[in-house]
Amino acid sequence: MPLRKIKVPQLVFTLVFWVCFLLLPFWFIPHNRGRSAFDSERFIALYIYCCLVLAVFYYCNSEILIPKLLAKRKILPYVFIILIFLFCFLCFYFIIWKNAQETRQFIGLHPTSRRESSATFILFSPTFLFLIAFTFSSVSKIISRWFYAEKVKEEISKHQLETELSLLRSQVNPHFLFNTLNSIYSLTLSNNAKASDAVMKLSRIMRYTLEESQSEYVSLANELAFINSYLELQKLRTTDKTHVIFEVDEGEKAVKIPPLLFIPFIENAFKFGVSARLQTSIFIAIRVKTSTLTFICENDIVPNITMPKGTGTGIANVKRRLDLLYGDNYQLNIDKNNEQYKVTINLTIR
């Protein structure tokens, strides 16, 4: 956004100023109060002079002097130029005033009040109008620069957010694929015929992670299809002792969620909840009601299982993504004991 682009509040501020400023000379430039101000040639000349000169000063101060001098901390040159501008403004104001026919007539009739009247008008009326223009032009520029700074700050924050989310997604994909390849590897060691089917399912999963997951949000239907393919792939390496239940209540069809958000929890369920000797169960549910999406992943914990190195990376990434994408609009609860591990996520649907 260019610095000179006027925001709505700044535009309103400027319009209010100029409406007020165009009315001020009627109070501060002397004229016969018993007649219309525009019956006075002196008033018209001073009015036009003040409006034109101070309008030039208004934009010169806000668009040139403040950005070029004051913003770069060149305070002394800035103050010097302002004072020179004020001095010149008062001098020409005085010249117009002094040479006006009304002034000459007034001084001819009241010669003793010449010095007093000149000092009064030079030190009060034009100076006050100049200070009004100076103050409002400075405030206007401060408002403009504040909006610009906020816009830049917002863009930087958004860019950082997108960068961090992209990094988190790139960490999710290799983590997930690494675990899946380990599952296929275990099948190939035993020459299991299911290995070829597993490779086919893995290719579908990889296509999703390479294409769909690059978006910030994906449709819930696509994410559910991906989770279902993952579950089918995991079932190829499990025995009949592991019972997997996947319940889905999609609710609204137009729901969108971040891709690969729930996979780390499902991965952990298979990592720590699968046994070749014991009966275990994994329960996964996704439900959509009104404006809330609920994800539940519950699994039995196999006793004496060795905790792999690096465990927790996927979950930490999920928490960070939830913070970045949802802020306070989510709840993550993890309940764990010696026998069971349960994750519940409630998301406010966008």
Condensed to tens digits (0 to 9), the pLDDT of residues 125-174 reads 788 888 888 888 888 777 777 777 777 667 656 655 665 556 555 555 56
Give the position of tokens 């079932």: 235
CATH number of 192-348: 3.30.565.10
Q: Look at residue 244 in the predicted model and tell me its pLDDT.
A: 94
Name the residue with tokens 């999703």.
208
Neighbours of 331 (CB within 10 A): 14
Q: Across the strands, what pairs with 288? A: 293
- The pTM of this model reads 0.53
User: Does position 4 have pLDDT exceeding 50, yes or no?
Assistant: no
Identify the top-confidence range among 63-67, 195-199, 250-254.
63-67
Alpha-carbon distance 89 to 96, whole Å?
11
CB 239 within 8 A of CB 279: no
Across 95-99, 192-196, 336-340, the highest mean pLDDT is recorded for: 336-340
Confidence of residue 83 (pLDDT cuts 50, 70, 90): very high
The first and second tokens of residue 61, run together, are 């101060």
Q: Which pLDDT score, from 0 to 100, does residue 16 have?
A: 76
Q: Which residue has the higher pLDDT, 1 or 19?
A: 19
What is residue 283's predicted lDDT score, i.e. its pLDDT?
96
205, two tokens: 């999963």
Query: Virtual CA dihedral for 105, 106, 109, 115, nearest 10 degrees?
Result: -130
Q: In the chain, which residues fall in CATH 3.30.565.10?
A: 192-348
**What does the alpha-carbon distance between residue 221 and residue 219 come to, in Å, rounded to a whole number?**
5
pLDDT computed for residue 1 by the predictor: 43
* pLDDT band at residue 3 using 50, 70 and 90 as cut-offs: very low
Given pLDDT bands bounded at 50, 70 and 90, which one contains residue 6?
very low
For residues 235 and 221, give the distance between their C-alpha atoms in angstroms, rounded to a whole number. 21
pLDDT tier at 298, thresholds 50, 70, 90: very high
Stretch 306-319: mean pLDDT:
66
348 in Cβ contact with 291 (< 8 Å): yes
User: In 10 A of CB 60, how many CB atoms?
Assistant: 14
- Average pLDDT score over residue span 36-47: 78
| Average pLDDT estimate for 84-89 | 91
Name the pLDDT band for 121 (thresholds 50, 70, 90). Answer: low
